[in-house]
Structure 1
């Protein structure tokens, strides 16, 4: 924290400093002392105390006693009492003073460093790494300083992906527009991308957003969408310029003609991302970053396309031609030829057989929608994305000695090192595994964890996935005798357990029996593993009950508990501040006299009159187990049965059906036990409920926004007709790519709802313009289809091209948002053909029939 630019750092794996005064019982007996005598002597002698002040003529003088002990020699010299012959009995005579740490064992210390406030995570990381390089040179022999879990690496990779995808998308969009429009028009259209991005970056902090992993990908997501309004505006101005109109007149008229569909198209697109703000749970906070980026980008893009773009395009002039302009004209001529030779006849057939066209498209959408109910495509709410690290967490029964747990952890660690040695690139000698970290006792002596980092996929030269490494690691380790739980993790964005059944009731025996039955049922399902439950026996404990004889001797339960606790747990005599350390001074038995039952049985209890009585004479000892923890929901005890699944190999619907069937069986077998689903099932149900509300609200908002410019109740429904076809297209894209549908896919479809109607909005608005100009309905529909084909194709293709780099990206960071990009990119691309044929046919049905 002393480094400039660092504000917060936490220590972990560190034992607190402690001064232990270990008093032997034999010494207390020899000097006729008690634990209380030693504790009181320390408290009365080891202190600094203000004694007031003297107001003398020369000034004020403070009075203060000085006697605070700090080191072992200071405490050892404290006088406990004087004997009858005047001899002093000091702490050193009855105890050994140790200036050390709390009980435990540690081989590594961790310093977790955070970026807070406006601090840049990458800058903080660079400063820490520079410090490590310098500090390692001066570190004592045998001490190594290194870093672990560099989170800034993910941010660097995501930002690298952003800039790489942005540049590729920017270049592809520019080239595409240059081929179909004049280069000057294309360049000014693409200039809107950095302007919109800069505006969003300006307001992002005001909205509570930051440049992080998700917001960076939100910029990639909106890359192809952001130029839609500029393309429609620029293409229309370009069309007027081709007709020979003057630059300023063409810019004004061309902008005004498409102002309504462009404006409301941007508003509906922005509205489509609002439901992502309504998602609850920890994932909701993550996905909320997407609309915080997308909506400002779209609004700034709208301003740019209405005010800045026309001002630049009014200076466009058609001058002399060169090789590039001739090539551009050839491409444009090819497009016009394709319109006349291919699309125009198709449109005529679709309009002539409009009811057949409508029926065919509805049938096609129904077939595509049935892929999910028919089981041809799986729904996996949150697919596993392979992480760049893997971990194994071991939980032994409560009361397991540290040494036993540590031995198992060492074996798990050895298997990790074996994997590291196995997966090595022969040409470079580098392993797919970089670091291995083992921890024991951080959360108690019965807990241990081993983790290792893996080279990122784009830099990994060894063909192996992190999930494959975790599975092989599991097989190498096998069963650990006596382990309560051994779980492996190697994926990103993991929430609750895929299977989590919460059993509630008042009868603990019934709950444990029901949990055991559920565990047996889950064990019979292929692909289900790491089955465990939350019930566990507590530590073994000795209960001390006062005998009748003890009461006659004047010994109370409180006195018995105080003396036993003081001997084995210790009495905190005081706390002292030594520099930055808060040091406890504990008085207790030496560790060697606190390790066995025999030490307790040989202990003596002091009576009120000072006599010593063996513990076994005043207390009965009985063995039992305490409760490890008691979980309750609505005052009813609860036991959770959890399990993991191999999502790529199993059907979650079938597993859920098997769980439901077993729960019905348990209802009859254990009448007092009720059940509920938790984990992923609960999270998914909450997310789905939020999405249903968000979708309903979105459709109402879109309808209202479309009704404003159309001033009609039916035409908004005509524009929204493409929405179910967009969803069907997204499902079909997942089917063709072999990807399961997921919540991210549904988020993409939700965003697609706002984007996909833009083309049909542009088309229907142009038809209305032609009809207001006096054209017949049929001719207006046919003309609009041909005239608006170029901007519709360009907006759809640029949206897809903007997302293409993300679809092709192999990095770990890209895998997370790919389903959303597939829904949005392929959905808009495939729905374009629906828009160009179905919407004109449906318009003709609505208005002429």
Structure 2
């Protein structure tokens, strides 16, 4: 299957090179043998942007290997997601103690959000372990040959996995010598049933004679959060910002998915991290405004002047919102940090100008003339510091 993906990457003109890792990835946890990743490097000079190339690769890979689940994260975003334990922008966590209900609702949620424009790389979070075979010992046969079920299990395990019978010393290292049967003798059910067993009494029989082979279906891999059982449906947005995408997603889920009282839905992933960051930054902004106002009161020994500077900083938010609207930038963590920095610059400029106004008034100038003189004398340092901060941010 991965050979087909390699061929698709080789046929894509924008791809400069790639590497494949099977059974490994950039995540912090150990990956299973049925997972892996491709690290793809695109050419610097290309006709299409990254999003267009990813869209084409996603369509071709899903068409060539429909049984494989693909996702196309950026390297930096993937690493940040792993460090914050938020592998995807969207995680819809369904909590319930009913495993059958979790499976049903996870599939329902995945089908609902998959139909939303801009939602890609949808995974229902249902990981089913492979089917297995269980050997149930025949107690009567085991007693007749002088063995217990534990002894039978040990005998079969030694035959399949081997036992360490000796060791070899080579230089300053010792290497174990493991004796085991040929893999062909137990890889299939037919050969496993005829695998010989030697009892302590010298009796010889097969696995079929001493145990009953039972088949067990694959079990759903379950995860827990705060001791609550859950299934997490995950997805990404393409061509849609996180805020608008989540608003549309919540509306569709409210119309299409109905949960019983014992089940709940929570939204995690990078969206949850963003909401927590917004709340923290809002608290920091309010705390900073209050502390700055207190410091200004202590500095100027009056309430009115600090209030004027403080209100000027609040009015700076109008310019921030206008700038975001003109440039088409969404309100995110970076823009909120920029707003906080802009308010800090306005505070600093206000302190510079008001301090000079107070200096001119102390020399006997009227308030209006003192303000004009402050604007003239402080224009250069205000522009210098503001432009320095702007260029530093860029």
TM-score by length of 2: 0.87
**Is residue 451 of structure 1 aligned with residue 39 of structure 2?**
yes
Cα distance in 1 for partners of 2:89, 2:380 equals 47
Residue from 473, 488, 507 that aligns with 2:72: 488
Q: Pairwise mapping of residues 58-97 of structure 1 onto structure 2 (< 5 A)?
A: none
Residue from 196, 209, 232 that aligns with 1:640: 232
Q: Deviation at 1:710?
A: 0.7
User: Structure 1 residues 534, 586: closer, same or farther in 2, change over 3 A?
Assistant: farther
Q: Deviation at 1:545?
A: 0.8
Give the aligned partner of residue 364 of structure 2: 774
Cα distance in 2 for partners of 1:469, 1:580 equals 53
Give the aligned partner of residue 542 of structure 1: 133
Give the aligned partner of residue 274 of structure 1: none
Q: Deviation at 1:675?
A: 1.9
- Root-mean-square deviation (CA, aligned residues, Å) is 2.6
SS at match of 2:347: helix
Is contact 2:62-2:70 (8 Å) kept?
no
User: Structure 1 residues 418, 654: closer, same or farther in 2, change over 3 A?
Assistant: closer
Gaps of 5+ in 2: 25-30
Cα distance in 2 for partners of 1:576, 1:729 equals 77
Q: Pairwise mapping of residues 93-242 of structure 1 onto structure 2 (< 5 A)?
A: none
Residues 8-66 of structure 1 deviation map (CA, whole Å, 9 limit, x = unaligned)? xxxxxxxxxxxxxxxxxxxxxxxxxxxxxxxxxxxxxxxxxxxxxxxxxxxxxxxxxxx
Give the aligned partner of residue 167 of structure 1: none
Give the aligned partner of residue 765 of structure 1: 355
Cα distance in 2 for partners of 1:575, 1:512 equals 49
User: Structure 1 residues 574, 695: closer, same or farther in 2, change over 3 A?
Assistant: farther
Q: Deviation at 1:682?
A: 1.4
Gaps of 5+ in 1: 1-407, 424-432, 804-819, 822-849
Q: Pairwise mapping of residues 118-517 of structure 1 onto structure 2 (< 5 A)?
A: 408-419=1-12, 422-423=13-14, 433-442=15-24, 443-455=31-43, 460-479=44-63, 481=65, 483=67, 485-490=69-74, 492-494=76-78, 495=81, 496=86, 497-517=88-108
Cα distance in 2 for partners of 1:581, 1:726 equals 71
Cα distance in 1 for partners of 2:99, 2:172 equals 47
Q: Deviation at 1:470?
A: 2.1
Cα distance in 2 for partners of 1:784, 1:579 equals 84
Residue from 134, 148, 166 that aligns with 1:556: 148
SS at match of 2:329: coil
Residues 208-251 of structure 1 deviation map (CA, whole Å, 9 limit, x = unaligned)? xxxxxxxxxxxxxxxxxxxxxxxxxxxxxxxxxxxxxxxxxxxx
Cα distance in 1 for partners of 2:330, 2:226 equals 37
Residue from 600, 606, 630 that aligns with 2:192: 600
Q: Deviation at 1:691?
A: 0.8
Cα distance in 2 for partners of 1:481, 1:462 equals 27
Cα distance in 1 for partners of 2:11, 2:172 equals 41
Cα distance in 2 for partners of 1:654, 1:441 equals 32
Q: Deviation at 1:775?
A: 2.1
SS at match of 1:542: strand
Is contact 1:594-1:600 (8 Å) kept?
yes
Residues 603-624 of structure 1 deviation map (CA, whole Å, 9 limit, x = unaligned)? 1222231201121122111111
Cα distance in 2 for partners of 1:736, 1:526 equals 25
Cα distance in 2 for partners of 1:750, 1:479 equals 47
User: Structure 1 residues 417, 510: closer, same or farther in 2, change over 3 A?
Assistant: same
Q: Deviation at 1:519?
A: 0.8
User: Structure 1 residues 480, 560: closer, same or farther in 2, change over 3 A?
Assistant: farther
User: Structure 1 residues 650, 710: closer, same or farther in 2, change over 3 A?
Assistant: closer
Cα distance in 1 for partners of 2:212, 2:346 equals 79
Cα distance in 1 for partners of 2:364, 2:166 equals 96
Residue from 262, 267, 284 that aligns with 1:677: 267
Q: Deviation at 1:480?
A: 5.2
Residues 324-350 of structure 1 deviation map (CA, whole Å, 9 limit, x = unaligned)? xxxxxxxxxxxxxxxxxxxxxxxxxxx
Residue from 192, 195, 209 that aligns with 1:617: 209
SS at match of 2:200: coil
User: Structure 1 residues 726, 438: closer, same or farther in 2, change over 3 A?
Assistant: same
Residues 458-499 of structure 1 deviation map (CA, whole Å, 9 limit, x = unaligned)? xx2323333332222222223355635211123633423122
Structure index of larger Rg: 1
Is contact 1:539-1:628 (8 Å) kept?
no
Give the aligned partner of residue 27 of structure 2: none
Q: Deviation at 1:784?
A: 2.2
User: Structure 1 residues 575, 447: closer, same or farther in 2, change over 3 A?
Assistant: farther
Is contact 1:545-1:620 (8 Å) kept?
yes
Cα distance in 2 for partners of 1:783, 1:609 equals 111
SS at match of 1:445: coil
